[in-house]
Structures are given as structure tokens and as C-alpha cells.
Structure 1
Amino acid sequence: MKSFKNKVAAITGAGSGMGRELAIQLAEQGCNLALSDVNESGLAETIQIIKNQGKNNVTITSQKLDVSDRAAVFQWASQVSKDHNQVNLIFNNAGIAFGSTIEGFEEKDFKRVIDINFWGVVHGTQAFLPYLKASGEGHIINTSSVFGIIAVPGTSAYNSSKFAVRGFTETLRQELDVMKCGVSATSVHPGGIQTAIAKSSQTNESVRSLGLDPITAKDKMSAQFITTAKKAASVILKGVRKNSRRVLIGPDATFVDLMQRIFPSFYQMLVGGLLLRRMR
């Protein structure tokens, strides 16, 4: 897909962060939009930003959506197809974070992360794939993370979900290649992106055993995020045009990917050593 003009893109998590920037940049390139988010006010802000920029020549529809609700995602996909007559891209972008030790998390918290970050991707992929095939030119873009490349202490639920997205998307890409059905797939691995996901995440008291303060951990992590959501969206769209199998976003993601390739097991000792130094 070399051009997004007159295409139709569905985006989950479009009420803020990378989802919002993807919507803005796609609209700038003449792409029609079907936007969803669990946050209706954020979704309305995204639409207003696009309209304020004079992008009234593109069609925009929106839907409040919890991507963990399989039936709701399938219903949304059907409605998008009816509203726009076709669908060319699905950006499975919605996600949440949660901090806890493995010993300290409750099942409901872990399950919520998996339901949104992983099952949301599965639901979006399965719901939209028939419509992407019917369009003759489709692409599925699934957001994993740099934490889908390496694991770190205190984020077992998030790590599990993002590793799962990576494996799911790599399998999907291979199946689509074999079927030659006109649809492709890309796994996206952002490093630290300046969005609200870290600040809106929950962290429980168990992380104190790792030398982390649950009150300040989110702000400290956010302070290390070096890539803007605008830049991230630009890199993702470039990757789609190049039909990339995997997209790394930010110099931190590139460094982590290289570290994991060179030290596939030893990197765990490096990360653990940093935490031990902080505790001392």
C-alpha cells in the first residue's frame, strides 16, 4: 500500500497518543477514518482536531468501544464496512499497562491487561480480516512493544500481552503471505513514547520489593520516554508503505532489539543488576 488516499482506516485507541496521531496523519493524506476508543471525550477531541485542520474532505465515523468485548468489536467492524463501503487498514492500537510483581498481582488485574492488549488485537484482526480481503488491498497493524522483545521485572502482565501480540502477528503475516490474499500485517514495537499510557497505568505496592516506589514509578518512567506520538505515527505509516514485517520506534527500541540479539539471555542479568543497584 503505497498511498492512503481514498482508503479507509479503522483505528482503536484513537482518543489519545499514537492512535490520535495516526488518525491526524492519515486524514492529512486523504484517508477516511473509522475511529474507536473507550474514552468518548478523547475520541471527540481527536475528531475536532482533524476538523480544525480543515480536513473536511475525509469521512470520519466514531464508536465508543471496549476492545476486550469480542461481540462489540465484530459489530463495529460490520458497521464500519456499511458506513464506508470498504475497509483497507485496521490499527489494533488500544492498550493499557499495569505494574506488579508476579507474586503480588490479582488475577483480575492481570486478566484485564491480557483482555485489552492481546485479545483486543485478536478480536480486531479476526473481525476486520474478511473486509480487508474483500477490499483487495488491506493491511493489519498490531501494536506490540519493546517489551514484546525483552522482559523486565514488575511488568509481567504487560510483557506477556506484548510478547503474545508479537507471536500472533508474526504468525498472521506468514499465513497471509502464503494465502496471497492481498492483505499484509506489521508488528509495531514502540520504545518510550510520550503518551498517557504510563501515567494512566496502575502500580500496586508489591513493586516496593523491587526497589520501586509505586507512587513515583509512573512519573519516573514517563520522564524517560523520548519519542513523540507524532514521530511514532509517522514511522508506523512509513513501515506500512514499505510493507515492513516489524517496525521499531525510537532509538531505545533499536538499542533494546540489538541488545536482545547479542545477549538473548544475558540481558536479563543486566536489567536485574540495574534494579539491585537502585535498591542499594
Structure 2
Amino acid sequence: MNITNKTIIVTGGASGIGRELTIEAMRRGASVAIADLNIEGVLATKELAEAVATAGATCSAHQLDVSNLEQWQSFRDAVLTEYGHIDGIINNAGITFAGTAEATDYRQYEKVMSINFMGMVYGSKELLPHLHQRPEAFIANVSSVCGLFAMKKQSAYCASKFAIRGFTESLAQELIGSPILVSSIHPGHIGTDIVINARNSGNMAGDLPSEAEQEAIAKYFKDYGLSPAKAAEIILDGLKNNQRKILVGKDAIRGDRLSRLMPQTYANKINKLVP
């Protein structure tokens, strides 16, 4: 799937992987409709992407709550009005929540599922009729290594990411033989602000580390993960090579193999790593 001269959508484009996907896609010659609830971040991404864009590639900035179907429909219509067609979507928007299953409130499960899972479902289904009209198109849904194997204190996040994987793999089976590539994306440890954002948003529950420990964990997560720019390159290369399962980072590749070949050993190892 060559994205040059294509029009694509990237959700969660205000920061992290979404920002870098936008920048790299425009560097490769794609026009991008960037969407995120954080419109200031989207505008910053737009400026960065336009600075490196291949001639002819353009982008537009949109504020979108991915958990809201009516907003999705208005956003879709705005993109179609501006560009005339849509060739692909990367459903990247998502949040995390840290806490044991016992301590996690039902409303937090609903919030994580509405953003991570239903946001992806809305994006996929609202675009499908239009993607069918294109000579080639794609739907790429960002799951996680937490959609391949579970971690303690991440039941809400893991549930949403397993759900994304299940939906995506089922949709891929339904669209075999069509011009639409459907890919499930599984990033490992990427140095983004997702942990910082979870902390700042109060998306934590139960017996929590001290404030200083939380800050240290968030800083470590961002500073020592694979760079979002490299993750974006891997994802777009995977789409270029028509990969239906894209593992992002050596830890994702290793974790996928070990969790399948030695599930109990890997579970014990992960359990020791997570505080």
C-alpha cells in the first residue's frame, strides 16, 4: 500500500505516535486529515508536518472526540468535502488506565472502552463505504503488545487492546479479496506521554506509588522507549509491505513470540517487571 498521493486520516494526532505518523506520512507524499480532542496539539502537528511535506501533500486539522459517533460523521463529511475522497485511516487515538481490576471503577472501564475500542469501531465503519470506492485503501488499527498478552494492573487497557485486535482480525477476514488492506498494529514500549497523560488525568486507581515515584515512572517510560518517530516509520513501512500484523519494536517481536511459545514463563517474567 503506497501512501504517496493518497489522502489518509490519523486520529490521536496531537502528540506521540499520531504526531509522528502525520509527519512521516506527509514526508512520504500523503495528504493527512489530523484529528484529536486536543486541537492545540493538532495545530502544532500540522505546522511540523507541513515543514517537511512532499510537494503537493497537504493536511487539515480537526477536533474530534473519537468516542462520539455524531462527531465522527461530521468529521468524515468535512474530510470528504475538503479532499473529495479518503484512501485510508490509522485509528491511533487511545488512553490508558492503571489499577487493579478490583480497584478500577466501572465508569473507568466504560471510558477506556469508549475511546480505545468504540472510537476505532466508529472510524472503521464510518469509512468503509468510502474506502470500497477506492482502487486501493487501508484500515490500520493501533492495538498494543497489551493486545497480544496481558499485564497486571492494566485490565481496562488490555481489554480494549485485545478487543481492537479481535475486531481488526475479523474485519480483515471479511475483506480478503477486496482492495482494502486491514492491519493490526502492536507497539511495544514507545516513548510517548501516555503514562504522563494518565497520571495528569487521574486515570489511576488503587494502591498507588508516591507522587515522586509516579513522576519517575512516567519519565522513564517516555525517555527509554522506542522513539515515536521510529515507530511511525515501522508502521508505514508495514503498510507499504501490506502487512496485516505490524509489530513495533524488538520488545513487541520478542513478547509476541515468547507469549505464544512459553506463555507461563513469559507471564511470570512480565509479572516481575510490573510494580
> TM-score normalized by structure 2?
0.92
Q: 1:84-233 residue pairs with structure 2 within 5 A? A: 84-177=83-176, 180-202=177-199, 203-208=203-208, 212-213=209-210, 216-217=213-214, 219-220=216-217, 222-224=219-221, 225-233=224-232
Q: 1:241-260 residue pairs with structure 2 within 5 A? A: 241-260=240-259
Deviations 1:137-185 (A, max 9, x none): 11001000001111111111000000000111111111110xx221111
The residue type equivalent to 2:83 in the other structure is H
> 1:206, CA displacement in angstroms?
1.0
| Cross-structure match for 1:263 | 262
In the superposition, relative to structure 1, how do residues 205 and 80 fare at CA in structure 2: closer, same or farther (>3 Å)? closer
Deviations 1:57-83 (A, max 9, x none): 322122100000012112211221221
In the superposition, relative to structure 1, how do residues 214 and 191 fare at CA in structure 2: closer, same or farther (>3 Å)? farther
The worse-fitting range, judged by mean Cα deviation, of 160-169 and 218-227 is: 218-227
Deviations 1:213-241 (A, max 9, x none): 57624642552542000000000001101
What secondary structure, in the 3-state scheme, does the structure 1 residue paired with 2:197 have?
A: coil
The residue type equivalent to 1:110 in the other structure is Y
* In 1, Cα distance between equivalents of 2:210 and 2:147: 24
In the superposition, relative to structure 1, how do residues 263 and 88 fare at CA in structure 2: closer, same or farther (>3 Å)? same
* In 2, Cα distance between equivalents of 1:241 and 1:181: 17
Deviations 1:100-159 (A, max 9, x none): 111111111121111111111100000111111111211001000001111111111000
The residue type equivalent to 2:144 in the other structure is S
Unmatched 5+ residue regions in structure 1? none
The question of whether the paired residues in 2 share the 8 Å contact of 1:201 and 1:218 is answered with no
Deviations 1:37-92 (A, max 9, x none): 00011001011112333656322122100000012112211221221111111000
| Cross-structure match for 1:71 | 70
> TM-score normalized by structure 1?
0.90
> 1:266, CA displacement in angstroms?
4.1
Deviations 1:22-51 (A, max 9, x none): 111111111111110000110010111123
Q: Report the RMSD for the aligned CA atoms in angstroms.
A: 1.8
* In 2, Cα distance between equivalents of 1:31 and 1:54: 8
Percent of residue pairs bearing the same amino acid type? 34
* In 2, Cα distance between equivalents of 1:183 and 1:143: 17
* In 1, Cα distance between equivalents of 2:93 and 2:16: 10
* In 2, Cα distance between equivalents of 1:186 and 1:219: 34
Unmatched 5+ residue regions in structure 2? none
